[in-house]
Structure 1
Amino acid sequence: MAQAVDRPAPAVNRPALAVDRPAQAVDRLAPAYYDPVRVPPRVAAFASRPDTLAAGSPAKVGILDLAFARVAGRTELVGRYQKSPLQLMRPLYIDPHLPEMAFVYVMSTGGGIAQADRYRTDVVCGADTQVHVTTQAATKVYRMEHDYATQRVHIDAGPGAFVEYLPGPLIPFRDARFYQRTEITIAPGATVIVGETLTAGRLARGERHAYRILTTDLELRRPDGTLLALDTLRLEPGRIGEASARDTASGADGAGGPAGPAVMAGRDHVASLFVVTDRRPAAEVADALHTALATHMHAYPADPDLTYGVSVLPHDCGAWVRMLADHPPRIVDAQRVAWDAVRRLLTGSPAPNLRKS
Structure 2
Amino acid sequence: MPPLGGLPELAAYQDEPAQMPSGAPGKNGYLRLGFARRGERTELADLDRRTPLLAQQALHFDEGMPELACVFMVSTSGGILQGDRYEVDVTVGADARAHITSQSATKLQEMDANFATMSQTVTVADGGYLEFLPEPIIPYRHSRYAARTRLEVAESATALYADVLLPGRKHYGDGEIFAYDVYSSHVVGARPDGGELFTEKIVIEPNLWSPGRSGVMGGFHVLGTVILMTPADVTERMLPLIPVGYLGGSGDDRVATGVSRLPRDAGLIYKILGMESEPVRAAVRDFWTLTRREVMNEPVPDRFRWR
TM class by smaller structure: over 0.9
Residue of structure 1 equivalent to 2:222: 269
Distance apart, 1:42 and its partner CA: 1.7
Distance apart, 1:37 and its partner CA: 5.4
Distance apart, 1:97 and its partner CA: 1.4
Give the Cα separation in 2 of the matches to 1:158 and 1:196. Answer: 22
CA shift in 2, pair 1:302/1:115, >3 Å: closer
Give the Cα separation in 2 of the matches to 1:224 and 1:37. Answer: 23
Supply the AA of the counterpart residue of 1:269: V
Residue of structure 2 equivalent to 1:284: 237
- Number of corresponding residues: 304
Give the Cα separation in 1 of the matches to 2:5 and 2:305. Answer: 34
Q: Does 1:180 align with 2:147?
A: yes
1:305 to 250, 254, 270: 254
Contact 2:27 2:85 in 1 (8 A): yes
1:210 to 173, 179, 182: 179
Distance apart, 1:279 and its partner CA: 6.4
2:284 to 331, 335, 347: 335
Of structures 1 and 2, the larger Rg is shown by 1
CA shift in 2, pair 1:279/1:41, >3 Å: closer
CA shift in 2, pair 1:203/1:167, >3 Å: same
CA shift in 2, pair 1:354/1:117, >3 Å: farther
Distance apart, 1:348 and its partner CA: 1.3
CA shift in 2, pair 1:353/1:103, >3 Å: farther
Residue of structure 2 equivalent to 1:54: 21
- Considering Cα pairs closer than 8 Å and 6+ residues apart, tell me whether 1 or 2 has the greater RCO: 2
Secondary structure at the aligned position of 1:310 is classed as strand
Residue of structure 1 equivalent to 2:272: 323
Give the Cα separation in 2 of the matches to 1:143 and 1:195. Answer: 24
Q: Does 1:76 align with 2:43?
A: yes
Deviations 1:2-24 (A, max 9, x none): xxxxxxxxxxxxxxxxxxxxxxx
Matched ranges for 1:235-250 at <5 A: 235-239=204-208, 246-247=209-210
Contact 1:185 1:222 in 2 (8 A): yes
Deviations 1:57-113 (A, max 9, x none): 221111101211111221111111101110113211121111101010101010200
Give the Cα separation in 2 of the matches to 1:312 and 1:213. Answer: 28
Q: Does 1:110 align with 2:77?
A: yes
Secondary structure at the aligned position of 1:341 is classed as helix
Supply the AA of the counterpart residue of 1:212: D
Supply the AA of the counterpart residue of 1:210: A
Cα root mean square deviation, aligned: 2.2
Supply the AA of the counterpart residue of 1:273: V
Give the Cα separation in 2 of the matches to 1:217 and 1:114. Answer: 20
Give the Cα separation in 2 of the matches to 1:201 and 1:260. Answer: 17
Matched ranges for 1:54-203 at <5 A: 54-203=21-170
Residue of structure 2 equivalent to 1:344: 293
**Structure with the higher fraction of residues in strand conformation:** 2
Secondary structure at the aligned position of 2:233 is classed as coil
Contact 2:225 2:271 in 1 (8 A): yes
* Structure 1: gaps spanning 5 or more residues: 2-34, 240-245, 248-257
CA shift in 2, pair 1:345/1:301, >3 Å: farther
Residue of structure 2 equivalent to 1:18: none
Q: Does 1:220 align with 2:189?
A: yes
Give the Cα separation in 1 of the matches to 2:260 and 2:215. Answer: 16
| Seq. identity, % | 33
Supply the AA of the counterpart residue of 1:227: E
Give the Cα separation in 1 of the matches to 2:9 and 2:269. Answer: 28
Distance apart, 1:320 and its partner CA: 1.8
Give the Cα separation in 1 of the matches to 2:116 and 2:222. Answer: 22
Contact 2:16 2:114 in 1 (8 A): yes
Contact 2:189 2:198 in 1 (8 A): yes
Deviations 1:229-248 (A, max 9, x none): 22211001112xxxxxx13x
* Structure 2: gaps spanning 5 or more residues: none
Supply the AA of the counterpart residue of 2:205: E
> TM-score by structure 1 length?
0.80
Secondary structure at the aligned position of 1:336 is classed as helix
Secondary structure at the aligned position of 1:340 is classed as helix
Supply the AA of the counterpart residue of 1:274: I
Secondary structure at the aligned position of 1:204 is classed as coil
CA shift in 2, pair 1:235/1:70, >3 Å: same
1:43 to 4, 10, 31: 10
Give the Cα separation in 1 of the matches to 2:195 and 2:220. Answer: 34
Contact 2:232 2:265 in 1 (8 A): no
